[in-house]
Amino acid sequence: MKFDTIIIGGGLSGLISGIYLSQRGQRCVIISSGQSALHFSSGSFDLLNNLPDGTSVQKPLDAISELVKQAPTHPYAKLGETKFKELAQQAEEFFKNAGISTQGNHEENHYRVTPMGTLKPTWLTLKNLLISENEKCLPIQHPGIFNITGFLDFYTRFIADEFLKMGAKCSIHSINFPALENLRKNPTEMRSVNIARVFDKQENIKELARILKAESGNCDSIILPAITGLNREDVVDYLRKEINKPIYLLQTLPPSVPGIHTQQKLRSVFQQNGGVFMLGDNVLCADIKENRISQIYSFNHGDIPFVGQNFILATGSYFSQGLIASTEKIYEPIFDLDVTFTPNRTQWYNSDVFDTQPYQSFGIKTDSTFRCTREGKIFENLYAAGAILEGFNPLKEGCGAGVSILSAMYIAEQILSK
């Protein structure tokens, strides 16, 4: 099988590079073993919330020159200030064109509401999720928080307590009707994705609207867990029209329905542009000729190789098994690429779990254009994008999605300019 570019990994970075390249005429395949971090996403994309030394960042663009000084191997340091700005802007446009509506922009972080009701800075938040422009208060005063009876991954009491600290007095309500009762017969079915499927059906959405209308009399707004439809995203608009009140979604514990919507949409845009998406296949190894990858092999396709001009490794970090930690080393399992890590295992982690964890910043070494190396030699046609890269801490710096999106776009540009 021959392609211009072969992308390994179908998460945020693999999909974005695939769309970018296929929209510009390249024949691309994405081979992906399974779910990605998007299935567990907060529904927000972080660009940069903190510098490596812990200084908080409100305006990401203003912080890049200091970031470059503090973390020279950071993926943003490889992009540089001008490219960082250009790609962040382009990414916002990209989402819009892909039919993914977001709130926020790269000029200044806004605040998303966590499943515990606290506020956290971020860059872009998916449409309909509640956000605030202010770190200390919410845009609502007397919301009604509605939960599905028996749904345990949405903590109404915690949320109400946190909202009260920010001056919003909440009332708490339960939603129940026969279609939800059926789900409750088996408690393991009461997960976000299964409930969301119930709200794919118009009759159930109508019943939801009826209950919200009847119960929300004293509320200035309505808050629902983000479970309103797995295969449709028009439910909130419908409810707003029916009830004539502001309605916001609030993220639940994973799996993330808004994250799954994003994954589905990106995949469909990739396929509409002629991309081939192979889900459930695992890339195992490669043939290497001098400093180039000539072809790769996967579990499902056995000795039938995937032949390509360029390859993008977007297999994520430990979570997706793009990186593997053994007792002695941290390694990349497909190409055995150079990985940054300290040899002494006791230095991989910090015993205070809330402190910065060094293993979070380990990853694939690349040159300034994100080309990978093995034993110090650069592969001319193998690039790494996203969570697998070295030099950044997505949790402490709040830059996970930003690194995945911007590195993917930058690599796609490099490949097109060859």
10/144 with CB nearer ligand FAD: 10
Residues 394-413 as x/- pattern, contact with ligand FAD by CB under 6 A = x-----xx--x---------
**40, 158, 297, 331: which one contacts ligand FAD (CB under 6 A)?**
40
361 binds ligand FAD (CB under 6 A): no
Structure tokens of 360?
């979070």
Residue type for 165, please?
Answer: K
The reply on whether position 230 binds ligand FAD by CB under 6 A is no
Report residue 304 as tokens: 């039938």
Size of the site for ligand FAD (CB under 6 A): 36
Q: Which of 3, 7, 11, 74 binds ligand FAD (CB under 6 A)?
A: 11
Beta strand 221-225 with 247-250 is: parallel
Q: Name the E strands within 21-93.
A: 28-32, 44-45
Residue 364 as a binder of ligand FAD (CB under 6 A): the answer is no
Which of 43-51, 52-60, 75-83, 367-375 is the region at the interface with ligand FAD (rule: CB under 6 A)? 43-51
Binder of ligand FAD out of 2, 24, 25, 34 (CB under 6 A): 34
Spatial CA neighbour of 276 closest among 99, 34, 11, 15: 15
Site string for ligand FAD, 298-327 (x = CB under 6 A): ----------------xxx--xxxx-----
Q: Is 167 in the site for ligand FAD (CB under 6 A)?
A: no
Instruction: Please report whether residue 10 would count as binding ligand FAD according to CB under 6 A.
Output: yes
Residue 147 near ligand FAD by CB under 6 A: no
From 25-33, 168-176, 220-228, 302-310, give the range in contact with ligand FAD by CB under 6 A: 25-33
Residue 277 engages ligand FAD in binding (rule: CB under 6 A): no
387 binds ligand FAD (CB under 6 A): yes
* Distance between CA atoms of residues 169 and 246, nearest Å: 16
- How much is the CA Rg of the chain, to the nearest whole Å? 22
Q: Please, what is the minimum distance in Å from the beta carbon of residue 116 to ligand FAD?
A: 14
In the numeric block, which tokens belong to residue 164?
A: 């009260």
Residue 409's alpha-carbon distances to 278, 324, 363, in angstroms, are 21, 25, 19
* 3-class SS string, 350-382: CCCCCCCCHHHHCEECECCCCEEEECCEEEEEE
36 binds ligand FAD (CB under 6 A): yes
Tell whether residue 286 is a contact of ligand FAD (CB under 6 A).
Answer: no
Would you say 141 or 414 has its CB closer to ligand FAD? 414
- List the one residue out of 395, 399, 389 whose CA is nearest residue 362: 389
List the Cα angle 367/370/374 in 5-degree steps.
60
Give the whole-angstrom CA distance, residue 357 versus residue 275: 37
Stretch 320-359 residues interacting with ligand FAD (CB under 6 A): 320-322, 334
- Dmax (CA) for the chain in angstroms is 71
Measured between alpha carbons, how far apart are the two ends of the chain, in Å? 22
Kindly list the residues in this chain that would bind ligand FAD in the complex (CB under 6 A): 8-14, 31-34, 36-38, 40-42, 44-46, 282-283, 314-316, 319-322, 334, 386-387, 394, 400-401, 404
